[in-house]
Amino acid sequence: MATTTSNATGTVTEKRKPVFKKVDSLKPGTTGHTLTVKVVSLKTVKVGNKGPARSSAMLMARPTQPTRIAECLVGDETGTILFTARNEQVDIMTPGTTVILRNAKIDMFKGTMRLAVDKWGRVEVTEPADFEVKEDNNLSLVEYELVNVDN
């Protein structure tokens, strides 16, 4: 069942229902994933200032707060993957919590896959899921190499 909305011009657009994926179906370089996962562990990686030193005029115009980054091991009944949580996402990702990741993407870091949600996505806490996380299938441990094929 899709819902409909109308915009300023009066045209009606139909919203698509999200298609939930499993962790083991994720591939390098893909985007637009919606997943329900449990947070297994959290490790804070970086707490620092955003970008290089700025002039005092820029600092007064827009106050900056330190960038917080944490690597969270998340998973479902098919496997696990490292999720890179940024800023307010770090507060949501506590071990044992079940979350829905909307519009997630796969980033490559040192040849391995990392799951991330940028400003176009959403991280939502949901009711606890009834699955057991399969921790022995960690997709972030698989190393990929970019190979150029000449025709």
Full residue range of the structural domain in which residue 78 is found: 23-46+67-140
Give me the pLDDT at residue 76, please: 92
| Residue 17 φ/ψ, nearest 5 degrees | -75, 140
Give me the pLDDT at residue 59, please: 52
Query: Residue type for 23, please?
Result: V
Residue 151 lies in a domain: no
- Give the C-alpha distances (Å, rounded to integers) separating 139 from 10, 69, 113: 45, 20, 7
Residue 134 lies in a domain: yes
Residue 113 lies in a domain: yes
Give me the pLDDT at residue 19, please: 84
Total domains in the chain come to: 1
pTM: 0.77
Per-residue pLDDT of the chain (151 residues), as tens digits, is 556 666 666 677 777 788 889 999 999 989 999 999 999 999 998 776 655 555 555 555 555 677 889 999 999 999 999 999 998 998 999 999 999 999 999 999 999 999 999 999 999 999 988 888 898 999 998 898 888 888 7
Residue 124 lies in a domain: yes
Provide the CATH number for the domain around residue 133: 2.40.50.140
